[in-house]
Structure 1
Amino acid sequence: MSMTVTAPEIPRTAAARLRWALADGWTVTLRDLTHWARKPGQVVAGLLFPVMIVLMFGYVFGGGMAVPGGGDYREYLMPGMYAMTMLFGIEATFTAVARDAAKGVTDRFRSLPIASSAVVLGRSVADMLNTVLGLLVMIACGLAVGWRWHEGAVRAALAVGLLLLLRFAFLWVGIYLGLTLGGPEAVMAVQILVWPIGFLSSAFAWTGTMPGWLAAVAEWNPLSATMAATRDLFGNPGAGGTTWIAEHAAVMALVWPLLLIAVFLPLSVRRYRRLDR
């Protein structure tokens, strides 16, 4: 007796296709969350690494750092570290995507009768959930070292929203690099990209202490715009400035992430669809 397997019919309406994509995407998200639950050591190490940087810069180097307008250096530092944590997420996204692609997991997903967007959607949801957890850990760390927000809960929530928007933009950068560069061993190349971008910003030092050309590069760094905007929203020292980019930090904190999303989201989708070519 022969048995025939019939592939599920692709939904015809836009609403049905959306429900199909969301359901399949959530299944992939649960798969990624299950992997983290089975290897909690990797998650814990990723959460604690930024905390160690805070302790190192806040207590070892903090005494020699200049804060524009005066104020506590750790209050200046923490918004920068929140944004840096969003940047560090590129490495985790890249490693997970590249590992699945190298092991053939991604090809297996592509052969299944699931929504074509489910894999990247599930990856993005899982990483954003991990980002929220990491940001909560960093905020707890900030509170422990003396950082506070001073402008009310609404403005603090807006600052958190800008940070998550930045992470969402970097997420698509990580997905694209993971699909493009090959196996997870290429993470060194990603670190060579990520770390200079992170340190060449206003995260740890005021740009006014830098040479003119270096200060200009640091101020136009997308990270610096989010750092300056969140410092202003939190009421921490270091917000504002005399240059155009410093005066429009809140606008650029929206423009830079949206620009990155507009570039790397379609590139990631296109690359995913062309993996077998």
Structure 2
Amino acid sequence: MNLDLRTVNVTRYITPLREGGSLPALVEADDDFKYVLKFRGAGHGVKALIAEFLGGQIARFLGLPVPELVFANLDEAFGRTEGDEEIQDLLKFSQGLNLGLHFLSGALTYDAAANDCEATLASKIVWLDAFIINVDRTFKNTNLLLWKKELWLIDHGASFYFHHSWINWQATAKTPFALIKDHVLLPKASKLEEVHQEFTSKLNDTLLREIVNQIPEDWLLWEGDVGSPSEIKEVYFQFLSLRLKHAELFLKQAQDARKTII
């Protein structure tokens, strides 16, 4: 399948979407579509964009429902007339390449108490989040939307949390990921073993390297002694490769955690 992303140019800032450090916004681009824009100048900067990108691309390859991702250019002149000083600063520090997710107009937030999710899809989402160590798909913040009667995955920016310290990534790659116990869909994920067999047969080093190599060089010019863009990409690839080789660890953790809640 083609995993290449389109590139669009942001033409209009419409509105911020929620409070918080990241301040994603609804924008319009030169293809006349609306996107939820994740800004490089926000909270965790380009690392959150990388996590969003990697998580979304892996989910897409595995056939999970995620909104289309696009690279989104923000022009230097964009936002100069913005009246809100905080938003103006955000736009100024986000000049260049950002990441957009196709806006699902009219979508509703998934509520575990009111909405269902069939076992296979729930198991696929739990497995994915354990693989990419996504800490942010809980009952308090599901990061799941219902759109046109289908469940959609959004917001993988809290995945790959090892990159915020950039130490002991080998150990993190082999962790069972105990926080999977808080996953909103874990009670419904009764098909983990079947999903594990399917996903570990689909994923491989060639595919993982292809996805990692798509990370824009512009997002890899980090401060500090962390290495060149190619060296940083190699760490992300090695992390994913190791995690896949030790997938039985997080599978068992999720299965054991299910036993305590059902």
Q: Flag whether TM exceeds 0.5 (same fold).
A: no
- Report the structure, 1 or 2, having the larger strand content: 2
- Report the structure, 1 or 2, having the larger helix content: 1
Structure with greater contact order relative to length (CA < 8 Å, sep ≥ 6)? 1
TM-score calculated relative to the size of structure 2:
0.29
TM-score calculated relative to the size of structure 1:
0.28
Larger CA Rg, structure 1 vs 2: 1
